[in-house]
Amino acid sequence: MKIGQKAPDFSLKDKSGKDYSLKSFKGDYLAIYFYPKDDTPGCTTEALRFTEDKAKFKKLKADVVGISGGDEKTKEKFCRKHEIDLLLLSDSDFTVSKLYGSFGEKTFMGRKYKGIFRNTFLLDKSKKVIQVFEKVSVDKHSAEVLTAIKSFNE
């Protein structure tokens, strides 16, 4: 995915089994963040920071959605366990992650495997990519996305 490109549409379920697509989001901005796995330390930190900043995103008319593998049950358990108040969608077969170029070979401690990359795509109201964040810092990423949205409002 590159800046200026129209984001691919999708249809994914949240923790309650409700379907969401790009049309579901009506804000001026949409931050789609891909994260590797529910209930892992880095993914928990990232989701908590986005949850803490939820009102700030709303004030900027921006929606935030997290996408990872797993299913509705893993999303529900993850949100309940950590009190995450954020829309998380299940991409159990990684179709959407692949469409967004956020799935592929990774290396951890010398072991190679396939998984979701920690990427975020910031879209404008017309659902075009206006910024791409790759290899983000989980603790600071929510603030980084907020700063980017504010810069587009100047």
Residues acting as catalytic residues: 43
Tell me the angle at which helices 141-153 and 41-52 cross, rounded to the nearest 10 degrees.
40
**Token pair of 120 as six digits:** 């975020």
Nearest to 86 by CA among 54, 58, 118: 54
Q: Where are the alpha helices (DSSP H) in 30-106?
A: 41-52, 54-59, 72-82, 95-99
